[in-house]
Amino acid sequence: MNETKKLQINKPERFKDYPLDNEIKKALSELGFKQPLEVQAKTIPMILEGKDLIVKSQTGSGKTAAFAIPICQKIDVALESPQVLVLAPTRELTEQVKNDFADISKYKEIKCCALYGKQPMADQRKELKKNTPHVIVATPGRMMDHILNKNVKLQDIKYLVIDEADEMLMMGFKMQIETIIEKLPKDRVTLLFSATMPEDVISLSEQYMIHPENIEIESGVSNIDKIEQIYYAVDGLKKVDFMKKVLEREQPRKAIIFCNTQEQVDNLLEILRKWSGSICAVHGGMDQQIRTEKLTLFKRGECKLLIATDVAARGLHVHGITHVINYGVPFEQEQYVHRIGRTGRVDQHGIAITMVIPSEMDRFRELEKFLGYKIPCKGGHVNRKPKAETGRPAGKERFKLENRKGQKALVQFSAGRSNSTLKASDFVSAIRSVEGISNEDIGRIDIRDTVTNVEIFDGKERAVINAFKTKKVKGKLLRVKRG
């Protein structure tokens, strides 16, 4: 087992005091880099010394530059061969990391490329052979494709960076990552960056790293201080109108509205763009070129509102996001942390707003337990009593909304943590495809060791159970019964 140790580093110096080429210093100066952030001050000297590192650092801490700066210094431009491989979980993050490398090394003429799915393999193969990049940034799946097709030579790789390791393992990339690592030279520097350190990440480091140094970045300002977190309790039927009121009151300079499904994104975009012209959307079902175009508009500020699924929760680094709005409670608790991390980055403050409908309240309380603190409620429209002057009971629809979470049943699927790589979002997507089932009908999802229990509201559990006698969850036919 590799031992790790925490480091005590002296007070950060200026970038111009580091032993870096003048070309890199010039680029950093133009990018506005003067004094390193904490993660950069702690990692850059260690990477320059050639040490393996495990870095635990929250999103938005400046970690991409922390590894890109020293690696750019070490690259031999004269060697026309890939020397750096960065593995990242999403297409957006691969593009972001590639661009950061390109910006930092623009006067050193280091060649970089990004490899990810939904792009023609032939085009990527041509770029790898004709342009011969020094730095390859890739998603594990697409990197495996190129390795199997013998499109890339890895014998000169000196640096392996595993970025957002926890996210990649959670997404089921463990086998691909291990296979890729086995193809790399043993004589290399391995750098692992992760926001959290679950058992799988620790196991990966123990297996493939040599006496790694452990660096843990304690944020000088806690997330709860940097990001004002609030929630509103809302009726499902009045959610869109309430969203408009929130936007009118908050007047965000730049905001992301996160939805749980692609359908929600499309529906919300259709409604809100009639109300505001400065709005765009991205989700995994869109063509990659369109997604890139929309993200570019958002980054430039030409669109101030971006509606997105969690495809944008990791790897989207946009300066000046003042608000994150959760249109619904995310099905995976870690995703809440990744979502709100899009604001309050580095030295900025932000606001995170979550809208909670009655059927999501149990899941929201579980989220608070996971976070370890209560998120204040700023009001809303749930459980309002009928107006006193009418003397009449609430309408049938309001009664249904207010009491829905008492009308729930468990549906149990024969897949859990130890026998599958399925995530909560996979179950949501599959269940929502059942005729007559909507997001509001799905409650808490509890992934256990060998089974997953899903709360279904409004007496619709029988429809779900019947449907999954033949339906599959992400290509897998599972046994399903009432829990």
Please say if the pLDDT value at position 407 is more than 50: yes
- CA 214/CA 372 separation, integer angstroms: 25
Residue with tokens 């019947």: 466
Same domain assignment for residues 176 and 53: yes
Residue with tokens 């032993």: 19
The residue from 216, 247, 272 where one domain ends is 216
Same domain assignment for residues 210 and 253: no
pLDDT of 320: 84
pLDDT of 467: 92
Task: Return the closest-CA partner of residue 12 out of 54, 53, 51, 40.
Answer: 40
Same domain assignment for residues 161 and 256: no
Alpha-carbon dihedral sign for residues 294, 300, 303, 307: positive
Is 399 inside a domain boundary? Answer: no
pLDDT of 192: 96
pLDDT of 444: 82
The whole-number average pLDDT for the span 372-379 is 86
Residue 79 — pLDDT band, cuts 50, 70, 90? very high
Same domain assignment for residues 197 and 274: no
> What confidence tens digit (pLDDT) does each residue in 123-176 have?
999 999 988 999 999 999 999 999 999 999 999 999 999 998 888 887 788 899
- Number of structural domains, the chain? 3
Is 393 inside a domain boundary? Answer: no
CATH of the domain at 418: 3.30.70.330
- CA 455/CA 408 separation, integer angstroms: 6
Is 389 inside a domain boundary? Answer: no
Same domain assignment for residues 186 and 274: no
Is 5 inside a domain boundary? Answer: no
The residue from 216, 237, 266 where one domain ends is 216
Is 425 inside a domain boundary? Answer: yes
Is 401 inside a domain boundary? Answer: no
CA–CA–CA angle 325, 98, 110 (5° rounding): 155
The model's pTM = 0.59
> What confidence tens digit (pLDDT) does each residue in 218-274 have?
654 444 567 889 999 998 888 999 999 999 888 899 999 999 988 899 999 999 988
The whole-number average pLDDT for the span 406-426 is 83
Same domain assignment for residues 227 and 147: no
Is 65 inside a domain boundary? Answer: yes
Same domain assignment for residues 106 and 128: yes
* Exposure string over 358-373, b if 16+ CB within 10 A, otherwise e: bbbbebbeebeeeeee
**Lowest-pLDDT choice from 17-21, 49-53, 118-122:** 118-122
pLDDT of 224: 53
Same domain assignment for residues 34 and 136: yes
pLDDT of 385: 36
Q: What is the DSSP string of 166-189?
A: HHHHHTT-HHHHHHHHHTS-SSSE
> What confidence tens digit (pLDDT) does each residue in 91-117 have?
888 988 999 999 999 999 899 999 998
Residue 312 — pLDDT band, cuts 50, 70, 90? low
Residue 215 — pLDDT band, cuts 50, 70, 90? very high
Give whichever of 100-114, 196-210, 431-445, 453-467 has the largest mean pLDDT. 100-114
Is 2 inside a domain boundary? Answer: no
Same domain assignment for residues 191 and 264: no
CATH of the domain at 295: 3.40.50.300
Enclosing domain of residue 100: 15-216
Same domain assignment for residues 146 and 252: no
Characterize the bridge pairing of strands 442-447 and 452-457: antiparallel
Same domain assignment for residues 132 and 36: yes
Same domain assignment for residues 373 and 472: no
The residue from 216, 233, 255 where one domain ends is 216
Please say if the pLDDT value at position 55 is more than 90: yes
**Average model confidence (pLDDT) for the chain?**
84
